């Protein structure tokens, strides 16, 4: 399990800077918002696997181990990207480029410890497949996405999107000891969700990424083309949702909710097809987070409906 390749919307530069402390800076390095989303993705994977009953101890272990590994991966991402962060307006105030944590290797060491602890505890206390799934996500995010692809190719976020899918597999492994068809379908949906989520943000911050030399869009020099790709990638979530409905035991109210949410993503981003506008890209980015959250909540609700509706 790992952090989803993502980033928060830029803060208002006119706002007063919050008081800094070591604890706050360490929490920043752990990317708590993204780590929380990763944990929810794992919980969604747990419930879509349809265990016969909920083992609260095992579910709690999944949450703790996943949060530890995700926070560790986030810290390693901060460490490896510290030079890039220093060159971007949005990120230059982070703890490492601001030299508020010294030596910088503290972040790397803590990241390695948290990641290793999360993987090892999951493998020993839940089962080896859960630990392996978490490890896959961490390696994808830290090694494949951050260290290898991010600076080299615009495919970085597409391939790196698997980091967000791995928690689904970890949740399924924790629930039933295997990767179920429903979990694999949900993992594909999360994989396809990552590009329109991130590309919407990258369209908003295109000049910042371009200044840092990061190829974060399908075509950095052509925002109109990239905007069209956002619409296509958002549209792919509709067949992905249908696949989840077919592969998992989904009850009809949840099936309707999944389809409507996917259509909503297309509706929100569709104006980008005819013209690139920053406000529309922002609208797509702001929709993407609640969209995924709604999908995960719907799958938890579905677990309860299975036991009520025939």
Cβ burial of 247 (10 Å; 0-12, 13-18, 19+) is middle
CATH topology of domain 23-306: Farnesyl Diphosphate Synthase (1.10.600)
267-294: per-residue pLDDT in tens? 999 999 998 899 999 999 999 999 999 9
Q: Running DSSP on this structure, what letter comes out for residue 149?
A: I
Q: How confident is the model at residue 126 (pLDDT cuts 50, 70, 90)?
A: very high
Write out pLDDT tens, residues 51-106. 989 999 999 999 999 999 999 999 999 999 999 999 998 899 999 999 999 899 99
Q: Are 236 and 275 in contact (CB under 8 A)?
A: no
The yes-or-no verdict on residue 135 having pLDDT over 50 is: yes
Specify the pTM. Answer: 0.93
pLDDT per position as a tens digit, 173-226: 999 999 999 999 999 999 999 999 999 999 999 999 998 899 999 999 999 999
Q: For residue 310, what are the CA distances in angstroms to 180, 245, 256?
A: 21, 16, 17
Q: Which of 258, 256, 160, 197 shows the shortest CA–CA distance to 8?
A: 197
Q: How confident is the model at residue 16 (pLDDT cuts 50, 70, 90)?
A: very low
Two structure tokens written together for 33: 């918002």
Instruction: Round to whole Å and give the CA distance between 23 and 287.
Output: 31
The position carrying tokens 């799958």 is 299
| Chain mean pLDDT for the chain | 93
Domain ranges of the chain: 23-306
Beta-carbon contacts of 239 under 8 Å, excluding residues fewer than 6 positions away, are none
């Amino acid at each position: 399990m790992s952090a989803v390749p993502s980033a928060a919307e830029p803060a208002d530069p006119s706002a007063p800077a919050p008081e800094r402390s070591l604890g706050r800076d360490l929490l920043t390095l752990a990317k708590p918002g993204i780590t929380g989303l990763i944990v929810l993705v794992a919980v969604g994977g747990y419930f879509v696997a349809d265990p016969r009953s909920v083992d609260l101890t095992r579910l709690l272990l999944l949450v703790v181990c996943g949060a530890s590994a995700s926070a560790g991966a986030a810290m390693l991402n901060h460490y490896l990207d510290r030079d890039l962060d220093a060159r971007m307006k949005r990120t230059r105030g982070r703890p490492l480029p601001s030299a508020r944590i010294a030596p910088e290797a503290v972040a790397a060491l803590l990241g390695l410890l948290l990641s290793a602890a999360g993987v090892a505890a999951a493998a020993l206390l839940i089962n080896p497949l859960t630990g392996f799934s978490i490890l896959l996500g961490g390696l994808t995010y830290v090694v494949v996405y951050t260290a290898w692809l991010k600076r080299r190719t615009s495919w970085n976020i597409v391939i790196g999107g698997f980091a967000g899918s791995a928690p689904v597999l970890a949740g399924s492994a924790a629930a039933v000891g295997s990767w179920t068809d429903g979990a694999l379908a949900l993992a594909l949906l999360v994989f396809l969700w990552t590009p329109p989520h991130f590309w919407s943000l990258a369209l908003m911050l295109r000049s910042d990424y371009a200044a840092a030399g990061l190829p974060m869009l399908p075509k950095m020099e052509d925002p109109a083309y990239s905007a069209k790709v956002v619409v296509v990638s958002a549209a792919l979530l509709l067949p992905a949702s249908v696949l989840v409905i077919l592969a998992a035991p989904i009850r009809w109210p949840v099936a309707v909710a999944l389809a409507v949410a996917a259509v909503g993503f297309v509706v929100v981003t569709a104006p980008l097809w005819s013209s690139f506008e920053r406000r529309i890209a922002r609208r797509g980015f702001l929709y993407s987070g609640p969209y995924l959250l709604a999908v995960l909540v719907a799958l938890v609700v579905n677990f309860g409906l299975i036991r009520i509706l025939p």
